[in-house]
Amino acid sequence: MIYVSTLIVLLFAGAINSQVQAKTPKALTTSTGKSISYTDTRNRLKRVLRELKEPAWTSKELNRLAKPVHAYLNAFSGRQYDKTLEALRRGDRYRPMLRAKLARSKIPLAFEALPMAESAYRFNAKSRAGARGLWQFMPATARHYDLHVDRKLDERTDPARSSDAAVEYLKFLNRKFGKISVLLSVAAYNAGEGRIAGVVRKSGIKSGKRGYSRVLRYLPKETRGYVPEFLAAALLLKDPVHYGFPVSKQRSYYYVQLREPQSVKKIAQLTKLSLAKVHQLNPELKKFSRTPANNYMLRLPASAALRLDKKLAKNKAKVWKPVTKQISLTSTHRKSRLAKTRSHSYTVYKVNKGNNLGGIAKMFAVPIQELRKRNNIQGNRIHVGQSLLIPGKKKLNRKIYHVRSGDNLGLIAQRLGVPIQHLKFVNGVSDPRRLRPGQKLVYYV
User: Residue 166 and residue 189: Cα distance in Å, rounded?
Assistant: 10
pTM assigned to the model: 0.72
| pLDDT tens-digit series, residues 196-217 | 999 999 888 875 677 888 888 8
Q: What angle do CA 47, 79, 182 make, to 5 degrees?
A: 30
CB contact set of 383 (below 8 Å; sequence gap of 6+): 11, 351
Query: Based on the number of CB atoms within 10 Å of its own CB, is 175 exposed (0-12), middle (13-18) or buried (19 or more)?
Result: exposed
User: Residue 412 and residue 437: Cα distance in Å, rounded?
Assistant: 12
Range among 169-178, 308-317, 418-427 rated most confident: 169-178
> pLDDT at residue 52 above 80?
yes
Average pLDDT over residues 135-159: 94
CB hemisphere CA count around 430 (13 angstroms): 4
Of 3.50.50.60, 3.40.50.150, 3.10.350.10, 3.90.1150.10, the CATH number of 345-444 is 3.10.350.10
DSSP-derived secondary structure letter, 92: H
User: Residue 305 and residue 256: Cα distance in Å, rounded?
Assistant: 6
CB contact set of 204 (below 8 Å; sequence gap of 6+): none
CB crowding 312-331: b at 16 or more within 10 Å, else e: beeeebbbbebbeebbbbeb
Per-residue pLDDT at 191:
92
List the end-to-end C-alpha distance of the chain, in Å, as a whole number: 48
Per-residue pLDDT at 69:
96
- Minimal CA–CA distance to 7: which of 66, 79, 95, 67? 79
Q: Which helix (H) or strand (E) holds 49?
A: helix 38-51
Classified as helix, coil or strand, 387 is: strand
Measured between alpha carbons, how far is residue 441 from residues 304, 359, 415 in Å? 37, 18, 13
- DSSP letter for each residue of 308-321: HHHHSPTTSEEEE-
Higher pLDDT pick, 169 / 6: 169
> Do residues 118 and 109 make contact, with C-beta atoms less than 8 angstroms apart?
no
> Do residues 120 and 90 make contact, with C-beta atoms less than 8 angstroms apart?
yes
> Do residues 210 and 181 make contact, with C-beta atoms less than 8 angstroms apart?
yes
> Domains of the chain: which residue ranges?
10-243, 253-320, 345-444
Strands 317-320 and 253-258: antiparallel
> Do residues 51 and 57 make contact, with C-beta atoms less than 8 angstroms apart?
no
Say which CATH topology domain 10-243 has. Lysozyme (1.10.530)
> Do residues 444 and 397 make contact, with C-beta atoms less than 8 angstroms apart?
yes
Res. 296 pLDDT band, cuts 50 70 90: very high
Question: By percentage, how much of the chain surpasses pLDDT 70?
Answer: 90
CB contact set of 168 (below 8 Å; sequence gap of 6+): 145
> pLDDT at residue 430 above 80?
no
Range among 230-234, 288-292, 308-312 rated most confident: 230-234
> pLDDT at residue 13 above 60?
no
CB hemisphere CA count around 273 (13 angstroms): 24
